[in-house]
Chain A
Amino acid sequence: MTGLALTSLTLSHFRSHRRAVLAFDGRPVAIHGPNGAGKTNLIEAISLLSPGRGLRRAAPQDLARRPEALGWKLVATLATPTGAHEIETWAEPDTARTVRIDGKAAAQTALARVAAILWLVPAMDRLWIEGADGRRRFLDRATMSFLPDHAGAVLDYEKAMRERNRLLKDMVRDPAWYAALEGQMAQSGARISANRATALAALAAAQAEAETAFPAAELGLTHPEGPLPETDEALRSALSDNRPRDLAAGRTLIGPHRVDLTAHWRAKDMAAADCSTGEQKALLISLILSNARALAARTGTPPILLLDEVAAHLDAARRAALYDEICGLGTQAFMTGTGSELFEALDARGQSFVVTETGGRSTVTEVPPSAPP
């Protein structure tokens, strides 16, 4: 195994899991079990090995197992091309999430440098038709997978912007204060724009080269107030010029925080939002796979993928194609579904786990390869 893989994971008091100790060997992982068993909870835990609030965007206290609500903890080993790393992350009641990498306290953003983790969850089925926030998050997560320090740039930008928005709301008129914040926003904002452009170019290249059963999409970025000033200098002066309008609006109207991601289904010449539900899903899968392929091409290491209920929406042929592509990429994809039959086409190429629930407590068990009768 030379790529990136989660090799062990211990969950303590994490949602419906009181304690689970799991070992993985780097192959794709199929997780099945009835509704409410704790499958999504399990891959949510894996999503917390990357910066942020995980695939449900939950607050740390909601992750603690109820009714005890004593806090939760995850311990994981990630095998990476540069060696194995141990990640510990936990939250006590009413405290922020804490991260340790190899026994040393670390910022959450440092997790992005250890492993790239990408996910698709059913809530994203409406990504193309709902607000721009979700698409921007999707874009930034993809960007972070190529450029781990993107996470820090986004945090810095948002912090400075929240400060500036506060000045705008309070109608503060101190120009030096605005200028100081706009300088910070321009600096991190320019990094954000450059990073996103790099990521889109990498995705486009990966789509162009791939032979895949999933549709290719033309990706683009739009900004609601004319073209977005992209350099540090241009953004700084645009923010400064726009102060009177922003004061009237009580918030910052221009900047990378307003950028939206658009997708156009190439073969059908149709905007993603106008495609059928199944087609929109196929587009998302296509993007995640392109992202994995592009990362593999750039760094030699595909990311870890978390695909919640991905099998349910695909017909048998598409399902088989998805498993073939995942195995071809050599990416450790964690996939969930209600029945084991959904993963028949994956077969011995993957590991299989079953999740069950009794009395509000989940149990995860590895299913041994099917023995001949």
Chain B
Amino acid sequence: MSDTRDIELLIDLMARLPGLGPRSARRAVLHLIKKRGQVLLPLADAMHRVGTSARECLNCGNISTRDICPICDSEKRGNGQICVVEDVADLWAMERSGVFQGRYHVLGGTLSALDAVGPEDLRIPRLIDRIATENVTEVILALGATVDGQTTAHYIADRLPGITVTSLAQGVPVGGELDYLDDGTITAALRARRAL
């Protein structure tokens, strides 16, 4: 007579992860149990530590294990540029490229009246405060090319008079062929053209 309740619970919890369903969760749990020493126990340990220490940076909304994240804490990153992103995954994507040397501001979403997400829910007042306290000279908006993303971008630009606000260029992806682009993308790319 075996009791599998804890294992079932683990499968249920895993199945709630993005990208996993009930089937893949069962496979993952089976794998974890088979690799108890190499994977399961270190994973449980790491999860426990992150679970007790991970928090949002009080300044920018990035996630780290401290109240102020290493990027906000670093003098070097205080170059006067703030890049505004929708969520932490976007911040990580920017960091992977390694080209941006300034700080970030994570909104945690986009403006949407229909989803009851307003400016206060997006740390926009905090962003306005940061302009003065961190001697910001340029705000770079790296928001999605969706209606909500662009509405949020225009809203922020409107609320930051007297400061340089730029947005990431939209257009032809690296390695992309014109043939496959829709007219919105081509229009944006044409508007953002530059001299060679």
**Partner-B contacts on A (CB < 8 A):** 109-110, 113, 149, 152-153, 156, 159-160, 162-164, 166-167, 170, 172, 174, 176-177, 179-181, 183-184
Contact = CB atoms under 8 A, between A and B. Distances in A.
A270 B43 CA distance: 77
Contacts of B158: 176, 179-180
A246 to B, nearest CB: 14
A174 B152 CA distance: 13
A166 B114 contact: yes
B112 interface: yes
Nearest to A109: B182
B113 A167 contact: yes
Nearest to A147: B183
Interface in B149-166: 150-155, 158-159
B182 A152 contact: yes
A243 B118 CA distance: 19
B111 interface: yes
A172 B113 CA distance: 9
A180 B184 contact: no
B147 interface: yes
Question: Which label, helix, strand, loop or mixed, suits the secondary structure of the A interface?
Answer: helix
Contacts of B109: none
Contact of B151 (A152, A160, A166, A170): A160
Interface of B: 111-114, 118-119, 147-148, 150-155, 158-159, 182-184
B150 A184 contact: yes
Contact of A184 (B114, B147, B182): B147
B145 to A, nearest CB: 10
B182 A174 contact: no
Contacts of B114: 162-163, 166
A184 B113 contact: no
A177 B114 CA distance: 13
11 contacts: A149-B183, A149-B184, A159-B147, A160-B151, A172-B118, A177-B118, A179-B154, A180-B152, A180-B155, A183-B151, A184-B147
A363 B182 CA distance: 39
A160 B147 contact: yes
Contacts of A109: 182
Contacts of B159: 176
A55 B65 CA distance: 54
Contacts of B182: 109-110, 113, 149, 152
Nearest to B113: A166
B111 to A, nearest CB: 7
B188 to A, nearest CB: 11
B112 A163 contact: yes
A184 B145 CA distance: 11
Contacts of A162: 114
Contacts of B153: 180
Determine chain B's interface SS by DSSP, over half rule: helix
A256 to B, nearest CB: 15
Nearest to B184: A152
Contacts of A166: 113-114
Nearest to A155: B147
A159 B113 CA distance: 11
A166 to B, nearest CB: 4
Contacts of A159: 147-148
A156 B147 contact: yes
A163 B184 contact: no
A172 B154 CA distance: 17
Nearest to A151: B182
A181 B151 contact: yes
Given A152-B182, A177-B119, A184-B147, A163 B113 contact: yes
Given A149-B182, A177-B111, A180-B111, A163 B151 contact: yes
A180 B154 contact: yes
B119 A174 contact: yes
Given A109-B182, A172-B113, A177-B119, 15 more contacts: A110-B182, A149-B182, A152-B184, A159-B148, A163-B114, A163-B148, A163-B151, A167-B113, A172-B118, A174-B119, A180-B151, A180-B154, A180-B155, A181-B151, A184-B154
A162 B115 CA distance: 11
Contact of B155 (A152, A164, A177): A177
A99 to B, nearest CB: 15
B147 A170 contact: no
Nearest to B183: A149
A286 B182 CA distance: 31
Contacts of B112: 163
B155 A176 contact: yes
A110 B182 CA distance: 9
A30 to B, nearest CB: 36
B65 to A, nearest CB: 35
Nearest to B154: A180
A153 B147 CA distance: 11
A30 B111 CA distance: 50
Nearest to B111: A177
Contacts of B154: 179-180, 183-184
Nearest to B152: A180
Closest 3 A/B residue pairs (Cβ): A166-B113, A180-B154, A176-B158
